[in-house]
Structure 1
């Protein structure tokens, strides 16, 4: 029959020519496409078509590692953010409350997320001061070690509230639990034995603990900084670059970056992961008397008789300078990233923010007057970070608690006072605000011009109750 009269054969009657293969649009045989896409093993049928590849079980085919990486790379930035957010929410939901029986509800979870965002930006402000009530005298207890025979000059509390470290003018370090049990100590040594003695050989004036409770740092009158393991109290490293008394130590939160301040007018930065010196920072014209740091890559210092406060912003390599006291500034503490408190020999308590070069509010003669008519020095201060609660100590026999106006910055209002005989050389809140710890001595940590023989050299723990 002529070819132009032939009709089209039914599909079922069509036969493939021997050796013919169905082609893909790219011109490659189907088995080549499958092998290229799936990297099929050699023992699979070479005649498999693209329509049949959906029937192949993925668990029977080993996908190369580089193809898995390509699949992960297909995740968009937005999808990654969603995935990380879900992981974070899941982690928060798995946290249990104090009774370890109830999980965080949705409202508490939302509050926690909001607090994390505000804290990261330095804007977190919790108004809790009005909730506290004056503690009973019977609830206050003292911790004393026979090893520390002179005044307690400094202290530090771990973030998990398990341990309290105290440093004394007799060069010793003692480790207590919050309940009052002594669990470790490092005796002081004699001057001149720095190379042989493990520990300090001069008065200890500064202490700090990292936020993960891994490292504890202590500094002394000879300019030595010792790094200790918190759990074992084993000495890990000794730094000696300062040329005068170490007056303050502070860890940047969530890191192992340590800031040290000295009477040599220098601030030094240390990296404890590498146990190495990073850089030094100048700017003060007199001995630095205090230092503090929080979340951001910066620290704040008080400059003694140069009557200035400097914020060192490391990321931008700049300094912010503040002036306002009429006498030596003896210390500085952050309330939050943008608010701080200073105190000094003029007996004043000053409230500052980074928005103004002068104090927003000043409380003069905060702890009354001495017998000679001069105001009592403020010798220590503590802030419950990111709240409106602060505490101050002096030599008038009382620790006073205050409420700070963290919105309008117009007032520092007294709450109540707690009788603590002696000179309060150090103060610190526990992370939860459940306790206030004071380091007390018969004399000021920097000298013996004033002495109270009736006082005891001890650590005073003040439980704080809420209404």
Structure 2
């Protein structure tokens, strides 16, 4: 007997009884849906004549024409078609609106500025302006304030500060562009000399000032503070408006000051944080908003002669005769060491036998930052070295940047002063010419331009190659080029019979007379206006003696020299063309 429990699984399901009315209902609902669909189609507002039959056929022909087109080309074609249709609509409506064009230009400029700010935030070099500046056409002016040699200079906004060997701090105002009207025509003329607006000088017994020579100066970008360091171990913070001391760090233990001469000071870009380096082999960090000491950095084995910094909490220093440059990461409490000390160039086999001797680096003297990854050092062997923080060796070294110093005449020397001279059958042998040191070095941040100084009588401009792998010389400042061939023809001498070596010798001898007489103790370089649209200023501190030693007295003047470097004619047009090409390419140099 079968039961529910013994039936197969297929027979266990109980079917629900279905009434005849349910089936009729379902058939009625389906028929109603079909009728409503037919009514909606037949009742459409679009007639057969209005149906886009041509569009459909056109799309078919278009698809047939561009069937092998890749997606990128299709997007470009559609974009061009959209722009053409938009331009046609605007022209039909009555042309372009000047206000709208101005807004478009403004948005474009804001976009470029945003790109530059982003590049600077990433710490990348993005300004290639070396070829835009007319270095030989620069105007120059000497100015002084009845003081001894100028040891340091700084520029902040429209003001210049320099410090001297006789404990003076002087404030100047940069020349303004004055507008004069003649015959109803507005013209611009430049008042070339800076105007003195502040002066203060210490004494040997001063308590609120420096007691010895002031060696360095720096000014904050917001125009609030000026910092000076001296041979009296003091770091003094001044009110930039009144030149009154706000705080004196005298080197005592209670104020965490330096225990030896303060040689270099620099503000962190865009902030009031200060880095100072000293002969006591330390770098100290100060917060001037609180006028307080922050931290001390140790590591160098000799006196620290220069310090440079940009916007990040990092700085680069050079340690004189320990022959190292150090990149300090303040937040990470670490440092990268870059060792120099090698010759100014590679020595080839047999070169010494030919009498060509390399000049080895004995001391790293100056340093300046190009961007967050690149910096340049100058040494006592006259070489400029390009460094990258990702490599331990110099990327490139340019030797004898300011040439060789000819040896003194034999009658001015003695065996006590020059023990290396010797006698032979033909008479006394002269000493080898020695290179001129790099005594000053400064760059425009995030650009390919920097300037150097020594005691050869020139401030020289240099360019960094676009790939940041080479240093290339530019013309010395305010030194016009001389047409040697024309000068020979005026003198009645034909240049056709002269060889290439003779022409080179004549060209070197025909250089314009030097403009900077003395030793360049410091340099400053800044844009004249926003983004350097009208050029830049270069300021040089000149003295008869080097600020760190009196081994030699140079024939020169104790003063400062201001170079007004203009932009070359047509630089704006070329930049616009370059910018258009860059925008077409979709690339930006700051992100390379």
TM bracket, shorter-chain basis: 0.7 to 0.9
Equivalence map 1:45-56=2 (5 Å): none
> Quick check: 1:444 aligned with 2:546?
yes
Decide whether the 8 Å contact of 1:135 with 1:465 is kept in 2: no
- Which residue in the other structure is 2:112 paired with? 111
What is the match of residue 59 of structure 1? none
1:232 Cα shift?
A: 1.4
2:282 is aligned with 1:282: no
* 1:103 positional shift: 10
Q: How does 1:344-383 map to 2 (within 5 A)?
A: 344-372=379-407, 373-383=433-443
In the alignment, the residues of structure 2 paired with residue 275 and residue 133 of structure 1 have an alpha-carbon distance, to the nearest angstrom, of 41
The match for 1:169 is: 165
After TM superposition, give the deviation of residue 422 of structure 1 in Å.
Answer: 1.2
Tell me what 1:186 maps to: 200
After superposition, the C-alpha distances for 1:271-322 in whole angstroms (9 at most, x for unaligned) are: 1111111111100000001001111011111110000011111111111111
Match of 2:362 among 327, 343, 352: 327
Provide the C-alpha distance between the structure 1 equivalents of 2:385 and 2:202, rounded to a whole number of angstroms. Answer: 36
Is 1:392 equivalent to 2:452 in the alignment? yes
**2:144 counterpart residue number:** 144
Report how far residue 104 of structure 1 moved. 6.7
- The one-character-per-residue Cα deviations of 1:129-170 (angstroms, maximum 9, x if unpaired) are 011123447x21111111x1x110101110x2x111001011
Structure 2-normalised TM-score?
A: 0.59
The SS at the match of 1:140 is strand
Aligned to 2:155: 157
Q: SS at the partner of 2:520?
A: strand
1:242 equivalent in structure 2: 258
Task: Determine which structure has more spread, i.e. the larger CA radius of gyration.
Answer: 2
Shift of 1:102: 10
Matched, 1:414 2:473: yes
Q: Output the CA distance in 2 between the equivalents of 1:117 and 1:408.
A: 20
Q: Secondary structure at the match of 1:387?
A: coil
| Structure 2 Cα separation of the partners of residues 157 and 381 of structure 1 | 15
CA distance in 1, matches of 2:263, 2:393: 24
> How do 1:27-38 residues align onto structure 2 when only pairs under 5 Å count?
none
Contact 1:135 1:462 (C-alpha < 8 Å) held by counterparts: no
* Aligned alpha-carbon RMSD (Å): 1.6
Query: What is the CA distance between 1:451 and its match in structure 2?
Result: 1.4
Aligned pairs for 1:229-308 (under 5 A) are 229-240=239-250, 241-308=257-324
Partner SS, residue 440 of structure 1: strand
Any unmatched runs of 5+ in structure 1? Answer: 1-100
Q: Distance in 2 between the 1:244 and 1:350 partners?
A: 28
Contact kept in structure 1, 2:305 and 2:318, CA below 8 Å:
yes
Measured in 2, the distance between the counterparts of 1:183 and 1:102 equals: 42
Contact 1:333–1:382, Cα closer than 8 Å, also in 2: yes
Matches of 1:376 and 1:103, distance apart in 2? 53
Partner of 1:55 in structure 2? none
Map residues 35-74 of structure 1 onto 2, 5 A cutoff.
none
Q: Deviations over 1:404-425 (max 9, x none)?
A: 12x4232111110133221111
Contact (CA 8 Å) 2:125, 2:448: kept in 1 or not? no
Q: 1:135 to 1:239 in 2, by over 3 A?
A: same
Is contact 2:217–2:227 with CA below 8 Å preserved after alignment?
yes
Matched residues in 1 for 2:170 and 2:136: separation?
26
Partner of 2:10: none
Q: Is the 8 A contact 2:135 2:461 kept in 1?
A: no
**CA-CA distance at 1:210 after TM superposition:** 1.3
Aligned residue runs from structure 1 range 5-44, under 5 A: none
Q: Select 2:218's aligned residue among 208, 212, 224.
A: 208
CA distance in 2, matches of 1:457, 1:369: 23
1:135·1:463 contact (CA, 8 Å) conserved in 2? no
What SS does structure 1 have at the residue aligned with 2:114?
A: helix
Residue of structure 1 equivalent to 2:182: none
5+ residue gaps, structure 2, are 1-101, 176-193, 251-256, 342-360, 408-432, 478-514, 569-592
Q: How many aligned residue pairs are there?
A: 356
Equivalents in 2 of 1:331, 1:443: separation in Å?
17
Q: Which residue of 2 aligns with 1:429?
A: 525
| Higher helix content, 1 or 2 | 2
Deviation string 1:80-102 (CA, Å, 9 cap, x unpaired) is: xxxxxxxxxxxxxxxxxxxxx99
Q: Return the alpha-carbon distance in structure 1 between the equivalents of residues 128 and 471 of structure 2.
A: 13
C-alpha contact (below 8 Å) 1:361/1:409 kept by paired residues: no
